[in-house]
Amino acid sequence: AQSVTQLDSQVPVFEEAPVELRCNYSSSVSVYLFWYVQYPNQGLQLLLKYLSGSTLVKGINGFEAEFNKSQTSFHLRKPSVHISDTAEYFCAVRRSYNTDKLIFGTGTRLQVFP
């Protein structure tokens, strides 16, 4: 079975500072990895995904993530955050075959302060 651990439930940061949101996964099979963002009172929006190939993936809104197979991690980074990045961020994993469900982490609340 697959599982996802988001190590930080909350990350406070000042505007224009860099940020890293950590995600570790566990799986005995090949997986795809995703980051979703949830703004207040909204649904989930895909930020980026890793399927194969280059381990550094770039997403929307200036976010990027690096897949590290040896450390089973998929940390999300942004070099300079904005107030508008305040949201809940979810890391998710699914098997790379079959029409499989997403397994989500518990989420990280990013709070950007002016």
Partner 1 sequence: DSGVTQTPKHLITATGQRVTLRCSPRSGDLSVYWYQQSLDQGLQFLIHYYNGEERAKGNILERFSAQQFPDLHSELNLSSLELGDSALYFCASREREGQETQYFGPGTRLLVL
| 26 touches partner 1 (CB under 8 A) | no
Query: In this structure, how many other beta carbons lie within 10 angstroms of the beta carbon of residue 22?
Result: 17
Find the binder of partner 1 among 22, 49, 77, 109 (CB under 8 A). 49
Q: Per the structure block, which two tokens stand in for 19? A: 């940020």
Find the binder of partner 1 among 15, 77, 102, 109 (CB under 8 A). 102
Part in contact with partner 1 (CB under 8 A); list of ranges 21-29, 32-40, 54-62, 63-71 = 32-40
* Smallest gap from residue 32 Cβ to partner 1 (A): 6
